[in-house]
Amino acid sequence: MTDRPDLTNLPSFRQPRRPVFSARKIALMASVVAGLGIAVHGFSPSTSPADLFSTPANAQVNNEVKKVERPIGFADIVERVKPSVISVKVNIKEKTASNDDGDDSASPFQPGSPMERFFRRFGGPDGFPGLKGGRGRVVQGQGSGFFISADGFAVTNNHVVDGADKVEVTTDDGKTYSAKVIGTDQRTDLALIKVEGGSNFSFAKLADGKPRIGDWVLAVGNPFGLGGTVTAGIVSASGRDIGNGPYDDFIQIDAPVNKGNSGGPAFNTDGEVMGVNTAIYSPSGGSVGIAFSIPASTVKSVVAQLKDKGSVSRGWIGVQIQPVTSDIADSLGMKKAEGALVAEPQKDGPAAKAGIESGDVITSVNGESVKDARELARTIGGMAPGASVKLNVLHKGSDKIVNLTLGQLPNTVEAKADIDNNSGKGASKGTDVPKLGMTVAPANSVAGAGKDGVVVTEVDPKSAAAERGFKEGDVILEVGGKIVSTAGDVRDAINTARTDNKNSVLMRVKSGGQSRFVAVPIAKG
């Protein structure tokens, strides 16, 4: 074997370097890079570091990693329905002078009512709290709306166009048209307008069915005057009563709805209008996820009448009604607290002529059960005047059927004289009614109280009577279904109810010219 030459003395010689990475380190690094490659492969189908490792094991792992699916969006629906939504701009000449506190806010609703508060926060109709200005000043407002036909008929809110001298709409493509008000309905806050200058507008379809709680909803409108804006949410509740009137039946949604969305549509995922956005609940004036829409079923019936004759006629049976509470149901011997309790039939009204009396409970209309007083009002109000209806009525513990012909709901209600709450001054203090915490006196002995019943002359603020809302000046007409005229009559009726093992006794009370029934608990012993 020959000896190796000694090269260490050569100028170009370098001592061999030790490997930078050991075999073990290389293996560890390879496993790390492979893991990173798998992660990248899981989020992208393009070439990644994982491609450098094509061993069967790595390939198998890569195949098992699923791609992240794209979340479902609403772009296709929005693209289809958004052209039907319009921005509504109005000019209103203020005709009222400033009030004492300098607030010129113009609201179509009764001052202090829940709807009036919604109006100030939600849209006045420009979407800002109220309309302010000096006497005779022309102010501009804006809201939302949507076409319901290609020839330019569109729906918006009554409070958006109420009192408007000029109405203009701007379509989704930025074109502006003049419009005229065809008709309005203050009771449902709906209005029908006709846009001039076009005959091929994109329009939306009103939904046929009722939305379910939890369904997706898209709100499209003109918040803060920004133009076509889309928000999404779900149906939060249905059948909401916000104190606007007897026909309240709002859909509650949580899609962000703000000032200026008034009159805009709420779409379902079929691209149909499930409701018309009309109010929000908000301590601050902005969206907090509680908005209210008028159901499509209501919009259909109202708009049809507005288009036909410019106004809405509603059926009327002529009764003052109230809910049946659990206490009232117990007093009447009812198993369930359902139906509408007739507090007082109006004189010469259809109900009075058909024999319906105070204390009767209307339980169904044309065979359809009546859940509560609001449902009865909506059902009758949705019928045409002159229609024949069959009412199931609980009359003094027995069921009976009453047939009547609906009248037309008057546009105005005659005011009834209020009872002077101070009329008891100078009269006797009355006789104490044990266990109830109030004293009463014959009504004919107290000036201004009338000649029927007994008048409440004093109420203990800590008593059961006070808890049920009794106050001085109220007149009790009936107790337990019996007409009363003295304190003794009241005591006898209460004792009878106690003997019959009733937990409460039902009283018909007249207060401020209006009658109502009150169930008062009976103290045992």
Active site residue 41: no
**Cα–Cα dist 79/131, whole Å:** 34
Q: With b meaning 16 or more CB within 10 Å and e meaning fewer, what string describes 144-177?
A: bbbbbeeebbbbbbbbbbbbbeebbbbbbeeeeb
Q: What are the φ/ψ torsions at residue 36 (nearest 5 degrees)?
A: -65, -35
- Report which secondary-structure segment, H or E, holds 371: none
In this structure, the number of other CB atoms found within 10 A of the CB of residue 88 comes to 32
Between the alpha carbon of residue 319 and those of residues 64, 379, 418, 514, the distances in Å are 71, 14, 19, 11
**Cα–Cα dist 512/423, whole Å:** 13
In terms of DSSP H, where are the helices of 259-343? Answer: 296-309, 326-332
Q: What are the φ/ψ torsions at residue 161 (nearest 5 degrees)?
A: -110, 0
Active site residue 189: yes
Residue 414: which residues within 8 A CB-CB, separation 6 or more?
Answer: none
DSSP sequence for 3-62: PPP--TTSTT--PPPPPSS-HHHHHHHHHHHHHHHHHHHHH-SS--GGGG---HHHHHHH
Point out the catalytic residue in the list 104, 126, 185, 189. Answer: 189
Q: What is the β-pairing status of strands 438-442 and 454-459?
A: antiparallel
Point out the catalytic residue in the list 41, 87, 107, 159. Answer: 159
Please work out, in degrees rounded to the nearest 5, the angle formed at the alpha carbon of residue 415 by the alpha carbons of 410 and 418: 155
- Report which secondary-structure segment, H or E, holds 250: strand 250-253
Q: With b meaning 16 or more CB within 10 Å and e meaning fewer, what string describes 472-499?
A: bbbbbbbbbbeebbebebbbebbeebbe
Beta bridge partners of 438: 433, 459
Active site residue 293: no
Q: Of 140, 138, 160, 139, which Cα lies nearest the Cα of 86?
A: 160
**Cα–Cα dist 205/228, whole Å:** 18
> What sign does the CA torsion over 236, 242, 245, 246 have?
positive
Q: Which DSSP symbol is given to 262?
A: T
> Helix, strand or coil for residue 300?
helix
Write out the two tokens for 269.
Answer: 């995922």
Point out the catalytic residue in the list 87, 262, 364, 423. Answer: 262
The residue type of 330 is D
Catalytic (active-site) positions? 159, 189, 262
